[in-house]
Amino acid sequence: MLALRLSLGAHPAVQLRRFLVAAASAGTGFLLLSALGHALAHPEPSVSALRLAWCTAPLAATVYFAVAVARTDPATRPRPGLSAVGLGPVRLMAVSAATTAASCLLGSALALLVFLALRGDLTALPFDGAGTDFLAAGRPLPLPAALTLLALVPVSASAAVAVALRPREPVTGAPRPPRAYGRFGAYRRTPALESFGAYGRFGKQFGPSARGRRATGAAREQEGAAGAAEGAAAADASSPGVADAPAPGAPADAPPDVPRTVPSGLPWGITVLAVGLAVEAFASRPGPGSPGDRPAALLGLALACVGLALAGPGLTHLCGRLLQTIRPGALRLLAGRVLMTEATRIGRPLGVVCAVMSAAYAMAALHDREDTSSAPLVALGVLLVAGCTVATLLTAAVESRQARADTTAALRRLGAPAVTLRRAAALRAGALLALFGPLSLLVAELSTWPLTG
């Protein structure tokens, strides 16, 4: 009930994303039911299993999109005060998983209604019986099998959301040095030993370390007094026009620290990509059978796509670093810093989009255009995978914008014009397109050449 109330009272943009999840679930459920209908009409286990295996790509894309939408849902974001009324991180995670399951169940129910209507179970058989190859019209539909297939999307999506949004322990800073114990049990930070009664000896407390502590304390008191005096003077000289300015001596708001480490997926991504292209080149050697029938070539294509997806965060970080080379100005510096900070959040879905586009380009060269029996299902599957990955990228951009809201507000308070922020966003988009566009086309061409050669 709480998940339903949070879903109904959300912002229209959030509702639109949830309806997109429901639409993706409906498309994936229809593909699963079509595989079941084909298995009923053609009792060939190998062909039916292959059609069912092809449904894993739309299923994975739908689950990936559902997780991205759940991350940007403001209704299930931890906020101060919610734990007092019983809405802690675990409860909010459960609410988010229940909301995702409700959206996917809505899509699965819609897919079942459309499938039954096309079969002629609800009304007369539409389209003069067209599409009976994968609808199994006239044959009884096993309801347990249909419900089991339709439950795959809600169960998988809710489980993935629960794993992605599970409460994690806060990561502390640098580890504290281990405590060392003295001779008589008085623990200290250094393992230096001292003789019996050394601490009680006269003047031990007034050594160099004690004098340093007293000097540090006196300096802090003087700094505090000076800061208080400056604050009082600034308060006397302040006017209503500058009430929003930072107080003298206080640090101004600054962008978040740029991560010092490069995402670790770039070497692995390049390695897997190279292995995939090598497997495709090995499979393209002259031999019996057509190029599209070689399983090794398809395995190489899959490895190349996985490598491109793994290399996405590292390439985004590299793009941000390249923007700041050779005497950057304020615009390039701001765009590069944001790309380096958001490399993981933006780079992963961007790499997936490039991998999907490369795979679609390569598979289009292998598609048999004379076989029109499965053309609507192939078009629906490609539309689902491409649409879900692009929507995931856009959702990640929204999440990145929400994460930078405080930084953007601080820049606006410091006097940064809105046109500068828009130019920085356009520069980031142009830099990513200039890097990932040719790279995706190059990988697609290298993947297509062994498959069609």
The string of pLDDT tens digits covering residues 103-162 is: 999 999 999 999 888 887 777 666 555 556 677 777 788 889 999 999 999 999 999 999
Q: Are 75 and 6 in contact (CB under 8 A)?
A: yes
Average pLDDT of every residue of the chain: 76
Predicted local confidence at residue 385, as pLDDT: 93
* Least confident range of 32-46, 188-202, 359-373: 188-202
Judged by DSSP in three states, 187 sits in strand
Q: Are 228 and 209 in contact (CB under 8 A)?
A: no
* Least confident range of 32-36, 177-181, 408-412: 177-181
Tell me the average pLDDT across 301-317. Answer: 90
Instruction: Give me 371's structure tokens.
Output: 């076989």
Among candidate residues 382, 361, 371, the one with its CA nearest the CA of residue 452: 361
Predicted local confidence at residue 238, as pLDDT: 38
Top-confidence range, 61-75, 120-134, 235-249 = 61-75
Q: What is the pLDDT of residues 335-363, one digit of tens each?
A: 999 999 989 999 999 999 999 998 888 77
Tell me the average pLDDT across 166-185. Answer: 56
Predicted local confidence at residue 389, as pLDDT: 94
* Least confident range of 145-154, 295-304, 425-434: 295-304
Top-confidence range, 83-92, 113-122, 399-408 = 399-408
Predicted local confidence at residue 86, as pLDDT: 65
* Residue 184 pLDDT grade (very low, low, confident, very high; cuts 50, 70, 90): very low
Residue 378 clears pLDDT 80, i.e. is over it = yes
CA distance 245 to 256: 20
Tell me the average pLDDT across 50-68. Answer: 91
Predicted local confidence at residue 379, as pLDDT: 86
* Least confident range of 36-40, 92-96, 229-233: 229-233
Q: Are 58 and 45 in contact (CB under 8 A)?
A: no
Of all residues in the chain, the percent with pLDDT exceeding 90 is 31
CA distance 268 to 261: 16
* Least confident range of 64-78, 120-134, 207-221, 286-300: 207-221
Tokens 């009664």 found at: 197
Predicted local confidence at residue 83, as pLDDT: 66
* Residue 435 pLDDT grade (very low, low, confident, very high; cuts 50, 70, 90): very high
Predicted local confidence at residue 126, as pLDDT: 64
Q: Transcribe 226-291 into DSSP letters.
A: HHHHHHHHHHHH--GGGTTSPPTTSPPP-PPPPPSSPPTHHHHHHHHHHHHHHHHHHHTSS-SS-G
* Least confident range of 129-138, 399-408, 414-423: 129-138
Instruction: Give me 295's structure tokens.
Output: 């399983």
Residue 51 clears pLDDT 70, i.e. is over it = yes
Q: Is 253 left (phi over 0), alpha (psi -120 to 50) or beta?
A: beta
Cα within 13 Å of Cα(370), Cβ side: 0
CA distance 153 to 62: 8
Residue 66 clears pLDDT 50, i.e. is over it = yes
